[in-house]
Copies of this chain bind each other. A is one copy, B any other.
Amino acid sequence: METNRVEAFSDGVLAIAITIMVLELKVPDAPDLHGVLEVLPTLLTYVLSFIYVGIYWTNHHHLMHLTKRVDGGALWANLNLLFWLSLVPFTTRWMDESSLSTLPVLIYGLNLLGSAIAYSILQARLIRLQGADSTLARAIQNDAKGKWSLAIYVVGCAGAFLSVWIAVAAYVAVAAIWIVPDRRIERAVASQADED
């Protein structure tokens, strides 16, 4: 099976997840600076979630680019990832509406952690399918960045019980290390293009 329809469906779900968060943005009561200040925290959490979905889309784009074939298991690994990412608008809203209470901040982190684990599972499945000496396998290698992310999420979630700002800092930190596009894959894509 080819990957183009998996990409199209994933693009659809991610495009919706990234856009419907705007529907959550409530128009402030007063059309003045007070209203702007009221909407600002919501806007910032929206920006964070937008960046996260953007990171997943970018990485998914890279991952699929090096994938030649998928099977039924990979389709479900992909649906599992989409499930976790489709929850992001909900956990974002809860975190925001609770004004960063401990539990919703923790749940947002668990949502990010679940997404990261789902991504790892999909990645492992695709690497197995393409073979150990495929361009994809060589591009990902030991995936240090992915493992670091999981570790930082766990620390952040645990830290939420001390202060929600530890958790928020952890979520921002992981976004920061991923916003740089995955050089390993870009290099692999470039070297593969050279071979062709």
Q: Is the interface of A mostly helix, strand, loop or mixed?
A: helix
Spot the interface stretch: A7-15, A115-123, A125-133, A137-145.
Answer: A7-15
A75 at the A/B interface (Cβ < 8 Å)?
yes
Q: A12-B16, A16-B19, A18-B13 are in contact. Are A75 and B61 (CB under 8 A)?
A: yes
Each complex incorporates copies of this chain amounting to 4
A82 proximity list for chain B (CB < 8 A): 18
Known contacts: A50-B83, A76-B181, A103-B31. The answer to whether A15 contacts B9 by CB under 8 A is yes
* Nearest chain B CB to A144 CB, angstrom units: 18
Whether A54 contacts B31 by the Cβ 8 Å rule is no
Distance in Å from the Cβ of A61 to the closest Cβ of chain B? 6
In the assembled complex, how far is the CB of residue A1 from the closest CB belonging to chain B, in whole angstroms? 6
The chain B residue sitting closest to A50, CB to CB, is B83
Minimal Cβ-Cβ distance residue in B for A93: B27
Contacting residue for A16 out of B16, B97, B107, B180, CB 8 A = B16
Q: Which of B23, B35, B61, B102 contacts A23 (CB 8 A)?
A: B23
Top 6 A-B residue pairs of the complex, sorted by shortest distance between their CB atoms: A72-B181, A12-B15, A31-B101, A31-B98, A16-B19, A54-B79
